[in-house]
Structure formats: C-alpha cells, structure tokens
Amino acid sequence: MKKTCLYPLHEKLGAKMAEFSGYLMPIQYSGILKEHQACRERAVLFDTDHMGVFRMTGPHALQNIEALVSCDVASMTTGQCRYGLMCNPAGGVIDDLLVYRLGGNDFMLVVNAGTKEGDLAWIQEHLAADTHIENQCSQTAKIDLQGPESPWIIQRLLMESVSELKFFRFMHNSYRDRHVIVSRTGYTGEIGFEIYINLELAQKFWQDCMDLGALPAGLGARDTLRLEMGMPLYGHELTAERNAGESGLERVLSSTKEFIGSTVVNDCSLRCSRLVGIEIPGRRAARQGDEILDSAGASVGTVTSGSFSPSLGFAVALGYVPESLCELGTPLKLKGPRSELDGRVASLPFYTRATGRGKMHDFLAAKSRG
C-alpha cells in the first residue's frame, strides 16, 4: 500500500492505520468520538495528502473544464473555489472534485484518492491539443486544519493575514518563507482550511499545528463529521452507475451549459430515486448496503452511509428512495443482516450548528478575547 508523506508522524503518534483507496491511512488516534468533538469545539488535523492535485493551463483550459465538470466555471473569479461533479455520458459520476481558479486559464483540480489515476486519464482524453495538465501530487502535500480554533492556529503560522478569507475562496500565503495555498471549503462543516504545501515542509507544519493545540484526527472522525453535514462520499452516495441528478446536488448541476452527461443528468424524467437523510432513534446505526423498506415492508432503496452521530446523540444515515417517499417525516425501516431499525426522512444537514460559513475575523477576535 502507498503511504503519504505524513506516515512517519502517524506511526510516531500511535495512530490506528488501515487501507483506504490504496493508501495506509490513520483511522483514529485518541478515539473517533474525542476527535469528532475536538473538531466541533476546538481544532483538528487531517492528513488528506492521498488526494489528487492537478494543474491545468492553456488557451482552451476554461473551455475544456466547462465541458468536463457540472458546475459553472466561467463565472468563477480568480481566488474562488467551486465544487462540481465529473460525469460520464450516461450521467453517472466519475468523481466529485473542487475547481480552483488560479487565473484566467489557470486552474487547480482537487480529486479523490481512489479515482485520481482514472480521473487524469479521463481528463487527458478530453483536452485540446494546447491544454496542459500536470499531476502535482509528487510535489504538493495537502493537510486539512478544521475547527473553531483553526483560524487562530493558522494565523500564528502564516505570514499574511487570513482574516478576510471567505468561504469557498483561497489565497496565496507563506509558511517559513515558502509559498502555500490556503482555502476554505471544509468537509466537516466547521470553519477551517485546506493547506497545499511543499512536501518537505508538511511534517513541520503538522507538528507546529499540534504545538498550538490542534489534535490529530483520522478518517473515522472525518466520516462521522461529513455524514452529520449530509455531505456525499464518492463510492457511497456518488458512483459511476447512479445518475448524478438523483444526488440532490442540483446546486452544482448547471442547466445553462452542456457538459459530459448533462443531457441525462438534467432530464428529470430519467430520475428513479433521490438521496435523503434518515434519522434513527437510539445509538444503533444502519450501514452501507442495508435495505430500506417502506411502511408496508417493501424494499424501496439502499443505505449509502450510516453512523451514530456524536453531535446529536442518535444514529443517522443517507440513502436512495423513490421520490414518493422523500417527504420529511416519512417513516422507513432499515434492514441489515441481523437487525431492523426504525427511521424517518429528515432534513439535511443533520447537524445545523456548524461554523463553516462564519466570518474569519470573528473567530480570530473571539480567541484573542479568550
């Protein structure tokens, strides 16, 4: 299995390691519940260096990206990030990704670890001859610092102020006199940052954040945090076989341009089901692959993700059901190999007190007063 540049630190910190997307990754350090709570209340670090980072440039780069991703790219300004889907001609999702506009025809794409090789090949097939794409994974490390205390921590480490950095924007900055890119797109729902940094400085940056109070967190807490926010995970909610139009992500499916798969994705008559949130009383959780039953006991769908919610004190799940069963409060049953749980359709996100869209200077000022 592959290892990220931060693996020696994970080993030193006694992380529980497991395979994820071909990488040996930390699942937990001090415990999923403790790490989850630390992200909601203080600050945590995630190793996301397994993800793919591509740089695309050239006279037709904008035109090429517009055809490849579901979100509108031309309207993006320099310094803006946007979330989108990359679809196949049948409307299935090849990957979900983030687009960073570095300049007019200069873009950075951030993709998932398990799909990055396939993503690169797919993109290369659909580029103009004068569009260049560079895989920057061997040069750039990615670390996520998340939680209400993260603004104070990162401001102590970077040269330029982050006080005006807005949600889904990025900036160029300096750490130890070396260039870094810092963004605010957050997969946990909390205010925080994604840091793109030179490989040789990654371990030092991680340690500096820990010295200022950030707790290392693994993929276990990352999953419970994103599930509470109703955010999709590729391979669970999004797959190459399921129509992207059923995902509930209409906000990133442009209806004003053509992109690969758009004819299928934007045709409502081709949607057979819809992704919904499901609340389950108690601590017992449904799991991916469990059957979803209607009130009459008929099988109507499948759970894509499920877990106990540490922030809410009960279990939650995501799953696909027919449109007729999407109304809030609709009773459902979730049937696993050894149990059957009661649930009901709930609004997303499950957790509504996250700080991700807050104003940066408010968090910096609050920490200073504290």
Average pLDDT over residues 26-31: 98
User: Pick the residue with more confidence: 280 or 370?
Assistant: 280
Calpha distance 278→330 (Å, rounded): 9
Cα 306 to Cα 97, 133, 157, 294, 321, distances in angstroms: 22, 37, 37, 18, 15
Share in percent of the chain as helix, strand, coil (round to 5): 25, 35, 40
Average pLDDT over residues 69-84: 98
Calpha distance 60→131 (Å, rounded): 6
Q: Which residues contact 366 (CB under 8 A, 6 or more apart)?
A: none
The whole-number pLDDT of residue 240 equals 98
Three-point CA angle 62, 63, 66, nearest 5°? 85
Which pTM was predicted?
A: 0.96
| pLDDT above 60 (res 370) | no
Lowest mean pLDDT among 65-69, 206-210, 336-340: 336-340
The secondary structure of 240-304 as a DSSP string is TTSBGGGTT-GGGS-SSS--TTHHHHT-GGG---EEEEEEESSS----TT-EEE-TTS-EEEEEE
Q: Are strands 132-135 and 178-183 parallel, antiparallel or unpaired?
A: unpaired
Q: Are strands 274-280 and 340-346 parallel, antiparallel or unpaired?
A: antiparallel
Q: Which residues contact 186 (CB under 8 A, 6 or more apart)?
A: 146, 167, 192, 356
At 331, which helix (H) or strand (E)?
strand 331-335
User: What confidence category does residue 119 fall into, taking pLDDT thresholds of 50, 70 and 90?
Assistant: very high
**Computed from CA positions of residues 175, 178, 184, 190, in that sequence, does the dihedral angle turn out positive or negative?**
negative
Dig out the tokens for 206 from the structure.
Answer: 């991680």
* Rounded-to-10 torsion of CA 355, 359, 360, 364: -90
Q: Is the peptide bond before 349 cis (omega within 30 degrees of 0)?
A: yes
User: What confidence category does residue 94 fall into, taking pLDDT thresholds of 50, 70 and 90?
Assistant: very high
Share of the chain above pLDDT 70, in %: 99
The whole-number pLDDT of residue 365 equals 85
Average pLDDT over residues 48-55: 98
Write out pLDDT tens, residues 300-339. 999 999 999 999 999 999 999 999 999 999 999 999 998 8
Neighbours of 59 (CB within 10 A): 11
The secondary structure of 62-118 as a DSSP string is HHHHHHHBSS--TTPPTTBEEEEEEE-TTSBEEEEEEEEEEETTEEEEEE-GGGHHH
| pLDDT above 90 (res 81) | yes
Q: Which residues contact 167 (CB under 8 A, 6 or more apart)?
A: 184, 185, 186, 356, 357
Q: Are strands 16-20 and 23-28 parallel, antiparallel or unpaired?
A: antiparallel
Lowest mean pLDDT among 34-38, 217-221, 298-302, 365-369: 365-369
Calpha distance 232→305 (Å, rounded): 9
The whole-number pLDDT of residue 366 equals 76
| pLDDT above 90 (res 265) | yes
* Rounded-to-10 torsion of CA 289, 290, 291, 294: -130
Average pLDDT over residues 207-220: 98
At 219, which helix (H) or strand (E)?
helix 219-228
Instruction: Find the distance separating the first CA and the last CA of the chain, reported in whole Å.
Output: 44
Share of the chain above pLDDT 90, in %: 98
Calpha distance 252→323 (Å, rounded): 20
Helices 219-228 and 32-41 pack at an angle, to 10 degrees, of: 60
Write out pLDDT tens, residues 134-184. 999 999 999 999 999 999 999 999 999 999 999 999 999 999 999 999 999
Average pLDDT over residues 258-264: 98
Cα 100 to Cα 79, 103, 171, 230, 330, distances in angstroms: 7, 9, 10, 23, 39
| pLDDT above 90 (res 367) | no
| pLDDT above 80 (res 228) | yes
The whole-number pLDDT of residue 308 equals 98
Q: Which residues contact 251 (CB under 8 A, 6 or more apart)?
A: none
Domains of the chain: 7-50+138-227 (3.30.1360.120)
User: What confidence category does residue 289 fall into, taking pLDDT thresholds of 50, 70 and 90?
Assistant: very high
